[in-house]
Amino acid sequence: MLQDLFDAGGEFNAARFVWLHTWSGWVVLAVALMAAAVLALAWINTRPVAGRRRGALLALRGAAVALLAVLFLQPGVRLEHVTRVRNHVVMLLDASRSMALPGEDGSRTADVQAMLADQAGVIEGWRQDHQVDLFAFDDHARPLAEAAALPANGDATRIVAALEDVAARFQPEDLAAVVVVSDGADTGVLGEAVPGTQEAPAGVTAVAGRLKAPIHTLFTGPKAPPRDVAITHVAHDDFAFVRNAVSIEATVTVTGYDGLTLPVTLRRGDTVLGTKQLTVRDGERRYPFEFEFVPDKTGKAVFTLEVGTAPNEQITVNNRRQFVIRIIRDKIRVLQVVGRPSWDQRFLRKLLKRNPNVDLISFFILRTGASVQVARQNELSLIPFPTRELFEEQLGSFDLIIFQNFTYRGYRMRQYLPLIRDYVREGGGFVMIGGDQSYTPGGYADTAIAEFLPVRMPQGPEEPIIDGRFAGRLTEAGQRHPITSLSLVPEDNADIWAALPDLSGMNRVLGATPDAQVLVTHPRQRADGQLAPVVATREFGQGRVLAITTDSTYRWAFQMAAKGGDARHYYKFWGNAIRWLIKDPALNPVRVEADRDRYPLGAEVTLVTRVVGDDYAPAADVSVSLTLERRWTDAGGAQQVSRLPPIEVTTEATGEALVRLTPEGEGAYVVTARAALPAGEVTDDEVFVVAPDPVELRRTAARADTLELLAKAGKGEARTLKDGLADLPRVEPKVVKVNRRRDVPLWASGWLLLLAILLPSAEWFLRRRWGLL
């Protein structure tokens, strides 16, 4: 304005008031004292004068003194032409996923882009004094070339983190203003503010204080919250124990619906673990759910929690949550059922009891229905054989079942045998140990047990037992198999087997089943043209089975000690057997692992494949084929499956092969590694999830209150998009150079001199007229 008044030619770009006198401070002080004295004298000598007249005289005296003071101090206007360094107006534009949700007109992002286009003139005006910098932000701020390129795919909204990025990028004195344009659905510190609070969280005030420039906010969002049913909270452990109950807690938040009923479903892969009903009640928005299930096998698994889509629901992406839980084993749960006490049972039980990783349930038949009873029941320590509890109710809770010289006959157990077969088929481990009540003498030849045993049993009249001692003979398969690997060095392993004490007695069998692996045979006895199997394995469905046709493996412990040795080979054999039967992952020669369980969209996945040889040493130059299967739900809610082309890799000297890839989209991925090893094709699976951060979409409602808190902490203005950008306060840029200057004196005016004469004259005239002179 000053510039307009005094710089008609437009030669200058700055104007301000100045005092043009050159008096020293002492002189100015002396003059000021004189002026005060003059006014004091006037005050004193006008006391006798009546009210109005005194006021007029004092006013004239005061005006005259003030005028003289102005003339003494010489006020003026200084016109300058200066050079300034433009400071920065930083515009932080929200690029998180919630910005893709409905705003007032279009999406929240579209509304922001429309506003920026509409306010282009204002922004252009800012550019005269400021540099306008656009940034997109989600969990951090990053430069944005143009507003039209603003994405809406960030997995977080962390406004404070974005402001900290600004503080790190600019010196505080270089900032003119920060303008935050967002829906306010902050997932960080700011979002923790409770609606209605007047106090911004400490982290907000701290960053606002560092910026030293006003922080303005522009809110974008719908007037009413979108209609939405969202899984807003899921609590689960990353690890769970197999065959232990696992709880998953979830909260479903409902916005804009009443009287609605929807299913809430928990799935593991394609298997539904549980479904509950969500019934929306008036005035209630949050609905907690708890699912409980019992994982029945170890390994990583992808779980999906899903709530149905409501009619006309605007946001469906948050109706589903996928997560990975690693199911591990706390202890190996073994059921040992023994038909009669024996030395073999005694040593195996001792072995199992000593193993800290085994939780053992033993049940021994101490007396049969044929036993003579000479004591009352209360004089005996016997308890009933809980067949229903063990083989129906609790069957699935065991990792391994051992039938040791046990016959099911006499205990009304035949109806449970198919359940045991199903248990094995679904992943259980089973061992049958020989004896006079096992295999054919046990009556298993035509039962469901025979369907999965690795040996075929005779039903004919021939003697079912082969008597006499013999040395178990390791087969070619047995030389490599993890059960019979008693030493990592193959040559040592053969020597160990040759030195083991003789076994004694075995069950006659017809031979091994076609898909069985015979590991140890009788050295002479033949079955089906082959040496009779003593130790044989078989995979049946998901489960594994071990058949031992003798009840004398205890001799590998006890008789070994007789020769001055110890029981370590016996312990090693059974330890190997248990690990193989329960599918201990460490025994798998091919392993594939992802470096994380969950990845954000666009992140790189690292897959490490490890291969070991028969001796469990790293195997180099092994070709491994990796296939990826992706399962996801499309926009229409339909389940989709796609398979990526196989990735071929070769292991390095470390036995490892590394693959890095970027998955094409969200969903649950199953990686299968396949390698052709001497023992046959070996596979291993790994799972991971690619999904947006669930935090971003758990709160879909736009929040103007968070932006208001921010603007208040930043001493700026809180506006909506409709208010636009015009007149937002900004810090002026600094002047770095004055090119030319001109002072325009305001005191050097004839009118002021005339006034300096007229004012005392008027006082003199009035005093004279009122008889004061």
Partner 1 sequence: MPTRRQFLAQSAAALTLGPGLAHAMGADTEVGIGLLAHGPGADARPLAVEQLMWEVSKRTSIDVRERPGRVDPATEALWDWPLVVWIGTEGVPPLSEAARGNLRRFLKAGGTLFIDDASPPGSDDFDASVRAEVAALWPDGPLDDLDDEHTLFRTFYLLDKGYGRIRRRSALQGVLFDDRSPILYSRNDLFGAFGRDTLGRWLLPVVPGGSQQREMAFRTGLNLVMYATCLNYKRDQVHTTAILRRRRWKADR
Of residues 447-486, those binding partner 1 (CB under 8 A):
463-465, 467-469
Nearer to partner 1, 382 or 757 (CB): 382
Q: How many CB atoms lie within 10 A of CB 526?
A: 11
Q: Is 377 exposed, middle or buried (0-12, 13-18, 19+ CB in 10 A)?
A: exposed
Q: Which two tokens stand for residue 260?
A: 């609605």
Nearer to partner 1, 554 or 688 (CB): 554
Q: Looking at 105, 237, 393, 492, which residue binds partner 1 (CB under 8 A)?
A: 393
Question: For partner 1, what does the binding mask look like between residues 277 and 316, x meaning CB under 8 A?
Answer: ----------------xxxx--------------------
d(CA 259, CA 279): 7
The CB-of-349 to partner 1 minimum distance in angstroms stands at 7
Instruction: Give the burial class of 357: count Cβ atoms within 10 A of its Cβ; 0-12 exposed, 13-18 middle, 19 or more buried.
Output: middle
Nearest-approach distance from CB 153 to partner 1, in angstroms: 39
The residue with tokens 């004196």 is 745
> With respect to partner 1, which residue has the nearer C-beta, 542 or 642?
542
Supply the minimum distance, in Å, between the C-beta of residue 501 and partner 1.
Answer: 9
Task: List beta partners, residue 233.
Answer: 251
Site for partner 1 in 96-135 (CB under 8 A): none
Exactly one of 13, 309, 487, 504 binds partner 1 (CB under 8 A); that residue is: 504
Which CB atom, from 206 or from 395, has the smaller least distance to partner 1?
395
- Output DSSP code: residue 344: H
| DSSP-assigned beta bridge partners for residue 82 | 738
Residues between 612 and 671 that touch partner 1 (CB under 8 A)? none
Distance, CA of 620 to CA of 656 (rounded, Å): 8
610 binds partner 1 (CB under 8 A): no
Window of 86-94, 504-512, 529-537, 605-613 that interacts with partner 1 by CB under 8 A = 504-512
The answer for residues whose C-beta is within 8 angstroms of residue 713's C-beta and 6 or more apart is 200, 204, 205, 208, 215
Smallest distance, partner 1 to C-beta of residue 409, A? 6
Piece in contact with partner 1 (CB under 8 A), picked from 61-69, 187-195, 337-345, 641-649: 337-345
Q: Does 523 bind partner 1 (CB under 8 A)?
A: no
- Choice from 308, 429, 441, 478 touching partner 1 (CB under 8 A): 441
Q: Quick one: 335 or 689, whose CB is closer to partner 1?
A: 335
Q: How far is CA 154 from CA 150, 595, 748, in A?
A: 11, 22, 65
3-state secondary structure of 751: helix
175-182/215-219 β-pairing: parallel
User: 72 or 364, CB closer to partner 1?
Assistant: 364
Rule CB under 8 A: say whether 340 interacts with partner 1. Answer: yes
Question: Smallest gap, in angstroms, from Cβ of residue 593 to partner 1?
Answer: 26
- Report the site for partner 1 in 5-64 (rule: CB under 8 A): none
- Tokens 């990592």 belong to residue: 488
- Nearest alpha-carbon partner for 269 in 584, 636, 689: 689
Size of the site for partner 1 (CB under 8 A): 84
The DSSP call for residue 655 is S
Tokens 């007032």 map to which residue?
Answer: 104
Residues 351-390 that bind partner 1 (CB under 8 A): 353, 359-375, 378-383, 386, 389
List the one residue from 87, 298, 318, 550 that touches partner 1 (CB under 8 A): 550
Torsion, Cα of 262, 268, 272, 276 (10° steps): -40
Residues 316-335 that bind partner 1 (CB under 8 A): 333
Which one of 24-32, 185-193, 251-259, 391-399 is the stretch in contact with partner 1 (CB under 8 A)? 391-399
The CB-of-245 to partner 1 minimum distance in angstroms stands at 5
Site residues for partner 1, 229-288, by CB under 8 A, read 243-245
Cα-Cα-Cα-Cα dihedral of 252, 256, 262, 264, to 10°? -10
Q: 327-350 as b/e, with b when 16 or more CB fall inside 10 Å? A: bebeebbbbbbbbbebebbebbbe
At its nearest, how many Å lie between partner 1 and the CB of residue 372? 4
Between 231 and 390, CB nearer to partner 1: 390
Quote the DSSP letter at residue 147: G
Long-range contacts, 122-125 (Cβ 8 Å, 24+): 122/724, 122/725, 122/726, 123/725
409 near partner 1, rule: CB under 8 A:
yes
